[in-house]
Amino acid sequence: MTLEISHRNQTLPPVNMLWIGGALGPIEIMSALSFLEAGHKVVLHSYDHVKNTPSGVEEANAEKVVPRQRISELRHHKTGSFALASDYFRFKLQQQGLGVWADLDMICLRPITLLEDILFGKESNTHINGALLYARQGHPIVEEALAFFYRQGIPPWTRTRDAVRLRLAHRFLGKSISPATLPWGSFGPKAITYLAKKHDAFDLAAPSDVFYPINFREAPVLYDASRNLDEFCTERTKTVHLWNEVLRSAGLKSQRPPSASPLATLFRRFNV
């Protein structure tokens, strides 16, 4: 299967995204446009028509990757979040050999090229994030991650205190243990980091300044008019993760950023 397209003397993989909901917000629109501008084919997977899909972005039926029923089953029981479903979807994309996955709060500043069997990056010195992810078909990290979605048990990367709580609730209260009942984010960075170490791929992760120059704890600086994106990015930075969930929790996601802030600067760059 030919995954890559030529652009400006580089060979670039397609970039896949998933949207579950109504219209895209400005950050999501900017995310898709940024990868387009970098020369990537961008595919937006959804279960319903997205009325404001940016021009040039290819729409795809998400049912072909993961059935809607499966997505509903993976909706987090406690929070109602689709984050777990999104984790599953990105791994299925890799299993099916469809190209790079990108969260819709990843902003592309430079083209993404594939040089190894797996592409991901460190969000810190200790953890790998999967907001940008590629793995060759059959890669053991992907296959093992997907296998855990079908196990009624506690993954080995779960924090000890969470594992103890789950076991006690299961034994004495009869509560089930399944992916949708695990703590929020159980199949995010902790899972990818654990599996990368197990399969000797941790050192293949790009340094944090390549894909995650702004740490999630620093996310509110995106709205700070006294800060500049150049403070965080380096000459090898390819993407910036905007940490949608952190901004939402801080009450910032629905606000228009100050005109001199890093986020407003990005909006202007991509005409959003």
Residue 175: inside a domain = no
**Above 90 in pLDDT, residue 40?**
yes
- In this predicted structure, what is the pLDDT of residue 6? 41
Q: In terms of Cα–Cα distance, which of 162, 89, 180 is closest to 130?
A: 89
Token digits of residue 112: 């993404």
**Could you give the 3-state DSSP secondary structure of residue 227?**
coil
Residue 168: inside a domain = no
pTM: 0.91
Could you tell me the residue range of the domain that residue 262 belongs to? 5-152+189-269
**Above 90 in pLDDT, residue 186?**
no
pLDDT confidence tier of residue 3, bands split at 50, 70 and 90: very low
Residue 106: inside a domain = yes
Least confident of 6-10, 70-74, 208-212, 265-269: 6-10
**Above 60 in pLDDT, residue 136?**
yes
Residue 92 makes CB contacts below 8 A (sequence gap 6+) with 65, 66, 146
What's the domain count of the chain? 1
Mean pLDDT computed over 73-97: 89
DSSP assignment string, 61-120: EGGGTS-HHHHHHTS-TTT--SHHHHHHHHHHHHHTT--EEE-TTEEESS-----SSEEE
Residue 63: inside a domain = yes
List the CATH number of the domain containing 52. Answer: 3.90.550
What is the chain's mean pLDDT, rounded?
91
**Above 80 in pLDDT, residue 80?**
no
Residue 167: inside a domain = no
Residue 163: inside a domain = no
